[in-house]
Amino acid sequence: MEITSTQDNDCTILALSGRMDATTTVEFDNVAQAALKEGHTHILVDMKDLVYMSSAGLRSLLSLAKTAKAAQGKLCFCSLQPMVAEVFHISGFDRMLSVHNDRESGLNELRA
C-alpha cells in the first residue's frame, strides 16, 4: 500500500492506494497516529485508489476513529471503490463512520 499525506488548510488528507491488509496496516497506523500526535486532528482518508481491504484494515480504521475522537478530532473517509465500499457496508462501518462520495464533501464536513 502507498500512503500520501497532504495538508489542505487545517485538514490532513491521507490518500491510500493498493491493498490494506495485515502486512500494510502497520504502515497506515504509523502515519495516521503520527498525524494525530502532531496535532492534525481533522483527517480525511481518501480511498480512491485502494482496491482491497481486509479485516485488519477495518480494525486499523476503527482504532484510528477511537483515537481521533479521544483527541477531539474529526475523521472522514471518501471515494471508496466498490470492493472497499462493500466491506464497509457488510461490516456496518458505513453507518458508524463518516463516508463521503468525494474528497470535497469530506473536507467540507471536516471544516464544519
Q: One digit per residue, pLDDT tens: the chain, 112 residues?
A: 999 999 999 999 999 999 999 999 999 999 999 999 999 999 999 999 999 999 999 999 999 999 999 999 999 999 999 999 999 999 999 999 999 999 999 999 999 8
Q: Which CATH number covers residue 82? A: 3.30.750.24
Residue 69, classed as helix, strand or coil, is: helix
pLDDT of 101 reads: 97
pLDDT of 45 reads: 98
- Cell digits of residue 55: 479485516
How many structural domains is the chain composed of? 1
pLDDT of 5 reads: 97
Query: The domain containing residue 68 runs over which residues?
Result: 2-111
pLDDT of 30 reads: 96
pLDDT of 92 reads: 95
| Backbone dihedral region for residue 86 (phi beyond 0: left; psi -120 to 50: alpha; all else: beta) | alpha
- Cell digits of residue 36: 494525530
pLDDT of 26 reads: 95
- What is the pTM for the complete model shown? 0.95
Q: What is the amino acid identity at position 94?
A: D
User: CA 90 to CA 67: how far, in whole Å?
Assistant: 23
